[in-house]
């Protein structure tokens, strides 16, 4: 399953689009479509600590 997200590839680069493959859904998995998402300050802080 092709998935699009955002990733900081290093602590000095900004978030940028990131495509990756997820495994196929299993019988007990739930598929959800996320329409909107925010990035909070603590997320950015964790990226810059690496």
Domain boundaries, the chain: 2-49
In the prediction, which pLDDT does 50 show?
57
∠ CA 27-28-32, rounded to 5°: 100
Kind plus residue range of the DSSP H or E element containing 4:
strand 2-7
Length of the chain as a residue count: 50
What are residue 27's phi and psi, to 5 degrees? -55, -30
Residue 17 is encoded by which pair of tokens?
A: 């689009």
**pLDDT per 10-residue tile (average), the chain, 50 residues:** 85 87 94 85 73
């Amino acid at each position: 399953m092709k998935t699009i997200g955002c990733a900081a590839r290093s602590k000095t680069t900004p978030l940028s689009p990131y495509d990756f493959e997820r495994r196929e859904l299993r019988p007990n998995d739930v598929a959800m479509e996320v329409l909107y998402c925010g990035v909070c300050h603590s997320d950015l802080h964790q990226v810059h600590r690496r």
